[in-house]
Structure 1
Amino acid sequence: MLTSFKQGYYLGIDGGATKTEVFIAKESGYVLGKGRSGGSNPHNISIDKAIENIRTAIKAAIEDFEIKRAHKKLPYLYFDSACIGMAGIDTYHDKKLVSEKIKSLNKHNDYGIKKLLLVNDGVTGLKAGTDSNWGVCIVASTGCNCYGLSQKGEEAFAGDWGYIIGDQGSGFNIGRSILQQVIKEYDGRVPKTILSEVVMNYLKIKNPEEILQWVYQNNDLVMNVASLTKIITKDLIFESIELANIVNHSIMELIQDYEAVIRRLKFNPEAKIPLVLIGGLFAMKEEFCKRFINSIIDRTPNVTIKVSPQTAASGAIKIALTLDNKYSIMPESSVLFENPNL
């Protein structure tokens, strides 16, 4: 058995639909290394592939740390604690499925993790944008999720049901709706609009019949379709009523998620509810973000909104740093794994 001691390294892991991002930090929170790999949402890929992508991102973060140390090889790393926020981890079945596999992350040839906390990515997203111990986080990227945490540690989720039956406010759903509009225009079911021309130029195709081939290229349907959100600009939204309707529908879906969460947690709509907005749709789409914020304020005028410039991996680091604090309020759904040999 290894002797237990603190080495002062912590891991923050954000397991999203499109990418997995890992931060290595010291006790001060200073980030020493970063790594990325493919997505790790178990609704989109197998759990084994998700774990593989997490390992790849951890390895990349360690290599980045070594580069910053003038390429000095690191000894075996002991992480005092780690937090992983995974998209798609909402239900008891989700946690049971993932928990059996996630344990394997605690021990590796190059590193060991003493404490590993598994949470939904809404938890890490909330921490990325606020130091409050309660509030709501809306993640809107390739997928989407609305998560709420009360001051008692009670939780509520909405919208995070995967790209097939859920994720109505996500980048994937917007991309799918755009493609559906273009196909309708090509079929002659609706009049042709500027949206078809913009989409075909973006896809670099000459005929809508080539869309299916583009969608299924690289076997990454979800990311391919979600990438169509790149065409969203303020000018195009005002020029294309079809795109404006798609964007507004997505916003309303996210607002419904938000309203469902605050009702279930019995938050007073007149209170100063901390609301963190995180993900590509908020960070990179100014008009989308502006419209969403205006709609939220109409419903809950005193809400305190923070569009987080930080990624959920930074929120995961914040949580990892508090795992030794016995007074910290852990979400009901969190699962803690401990390695007794470290």
Structure 2
Amino acid sequence: MTFTLDSTRTQILAQPDAAPRFLIGVDGGGTGTRVKLADLQGKVLGLGDAGPSALGQGAEQAWRHIQQAVEAAAAQAGLATLAPIDCAIGLGLSGAGVPSQAAEFLARQPGYAALALDNDGFTTVLGAHAGQPGAVVASGTGSVGEVLRRDGSRGVAGGWGWIAGDEGSGAWLGLKAIRHACQAMDGRVPASPLAQAVWAVAGSTTEAMLAWGAVAGQHAYASLAPLVFDCVGSDPVAAGFVAEAVFELEKLALALDPEASLPLALCGSIAVRLAPEFSAALRARCVAPLGDSADGGLHLVRGLLQRTVN
């Protein structure tokens, strides 16, 4: 383990004298939750999936889906029951960098022996580079860039949330698509194939689109991103949105590592899909991720336990 836990970013809880027998790594975002259950040496015993656990969608929902995913992982591992006190859990959750959201989440923790909470961008870095220095540009429902430098310091670019930022993400593409469809409905721009594809999902009347937008959240907007990709070949507007997404994600990579000295992993469905469109210089730095954000959660909590022992 080459990184150290930074208490100004990683939230830590530990119960005195607890002796966990299992490790849990959690990757939680706006679309879903993935869990890996491992032994104390990090050998994965079971996997579990559940609904979203981004903290911006509420701490109660986050814990409910995390626990569902943990139960599924335990069942796959052949464990009839898995008490929180027997586990140390490392969580990489979207929204963990917002103090109020993190505090509410931690206040509801169901009794794990040890807990380490950080944002899903950092656990993605840990998983992608197996705890070694490196950078990650992650783009799925949201987007963020994170780096672990050789001196152990950390850096973040982006990750401002799907309304103010998350450029190059699925939700960002969806927002651009819905805005284009609204303008087309008004007659401000031509009714392109992308606009028509959005109308087929969100409604083909003003009233229907307003009703869709009134209840749509991050996940709903991100669900429109595939429409943008589907229309690239027939719609210059969609092609322009994709080109802009590439440009925004390259900006994240440059901000993280201006000297381009660290390996870079591209993670998340959108980043992986856009990878062939990146510049040759950026592609030359790219490496295949060694693990995912749930693996990073395992790295995170193993680092906590090692620090506690030492």
Pick aligned residue for 1:54 from 48, 51, 63: 63
Check whether the contact 1:35–1:62 (CA below 8 A) recurs between aligned residues: no
Residue equivalent to 1:225: 221
Q: 1:236 to 1:123 in 2, by over 3 A?
A: same
Residue equivalent to 1:126: 125
Letter of the structure 1 residue corresponding to residue 218 of structure 2: V
1:191 Cα offset (Å)? 2.3
1:2 Cα offset (Å)? 8.4
Separation in structure 2 between the aligned mates of residue 103 and residue 184 of structure 1, nearest angstrom: 44
Check whether the contact 1:40–1:86 (CA below 8 A) recurs between aligned residues: yes
Please list every run of 5 or more consecutive structure 2 residues that lacks an aligned counterpart in the other structure. Answer: 1-14
Question: For 1:271-290, what per-residue CA distance to the aligned partner results, in whole angstroms no more than 9, with x for missing partners?
Answer: 3x21121112134xx3x232
Separation in structure 2 between the aligned mates of residue 50 and residue 4 of structure 1, nearest angstrom: 25
Check whether the contact 2:133–2:148 (CA below 8 A) recurs between aligned residues: yes
Q: 1:67 to 1:186 in 2, by over 3 A?
A: same
Residue equivalent to 1:142: 141
Residue equivalent to 2:175: 176
Letter of the structure 2 residue corresponding to residue 244 of structure 1: A
Q: 1:167 to 1:137 in 2, by over 3 A?
A: same
Separation in structure 1 between the aligned mates of residue 283 and residue 73 of structure 2, nearest angstrom: 44
Check whether the contact 1:215–1:224 (CA below 8 A) recurs between aligned residues: no
1:34 equivalenced with 2:48 (yes/no): yes
Residue equivalent to 2:210: 212
Letter of the structure 1 residue corresponding to residue 287 of structure 2: I
Residue equivalent to 1:87: 94
Q: TM-score, normalised by structure 2?
A: 0.82
1:248 equivalenced with 2:255 (yes/no): no
Letter of the structure 2 residue corresponding to residue 18 of structure 1: T
Question: For 1:69-97, what per-residue CA distance to the aligned partner results, in whole angstroms no more than 9, with x for missing partners?
Answer: 2xx6326354452211122344xxx2465
Letter of the structure 2 residue corresponding to residue 314 of structure 1: D
Separation in structure 1 between the aligned mates of residue 294 and residue 186 of structure 2, nearest angstrom: 44
1:183 Cα offset (Å)? 1.6
Separation in structure 2 between the aligned mates of residue 241 and residue 77 of structure 1, nearest angstrom: 52
Question: For 1:8-47, what per-residue CA distance to the aligned partner results, in whole angstroms no more than 9, with x for missing partners?
Answer: x1011122122233222223421324142323233xx3xx
Separation in structure 2 between the aligned mates of residue 304 and residue 317 of structure 1, nearest angstrom: 23
Q: 1:86 to 1:6 in 2, by over 3 A?
A: closer
1:98 equivalenced with 2:102 (yes/no): yes
Separation in structure 1 between the aligned mates of residue 190 and residue 197 of structure 2, nearest angstrom: 15
Q: 1:50 to 1:179 in 2, by over 3 A?
A: same
Residue equivalent to 2:286: 304
SS in 2 for 1:13: strand
Question: For 1:200-249, what per-residue CA distance to the aligned partner results, in whole angstroms no more than 9, with x for missing partners?
Answer: 33x17443552222233xx442211110012244x631221100111111
Residue equivalent to 2:267: 278
Separation in structure 1 between the aligned mates of residue 301 and residue 28 of structure 2, nearest angstrom: 15
Question: For 1:115-172, what per-residue CA distance to the aligned partner results, in whole angstroms no more than 9, with x for missing partners?
Answer: 2112221111112222252111112111111111111121111111112211122211
Residue equivalent to 1:335: none
Letter of the structure 1 residue corresponding to residue 46 of structure 2: L
Letter of the structure 1 residue corresponding to residue 48 of structure 2: K
Separation in structure 1 between the aligned mates of residue 223 and residue 77 of structure 2, nearest angstrom: 32
1:73 equivalenced with 2:69 (yes/no): no
Report % sequence identity.
22
SS in 2 for 1:165: coil
1:325 equivalenced with 2:306 (yes/no): yes
Separation in structure 1 between the aligned mates of residue 271 and residue 290 of structure 2, nearest angstrom: 10
Separation in structure 2 between the aligned mates of residue 78 and residue 211 of structure 1, nearest angstrom: 48
Check whether the contact 1:20–1:54 (CA below 8 A) recurs between aligned residues: no
Root-mean-square deviation (CA), in Å?
2.8
Check whether the contact 1:36–1:60 (CA below 8 A) recurs between aligned residues: yes
Letter of the structure 1 residue corresponding to residue 264 of structure 2: L
Separation in structure 1 between the aligned mates of residue 50 and residue 290 of structure 2, nearest angstrom: 18
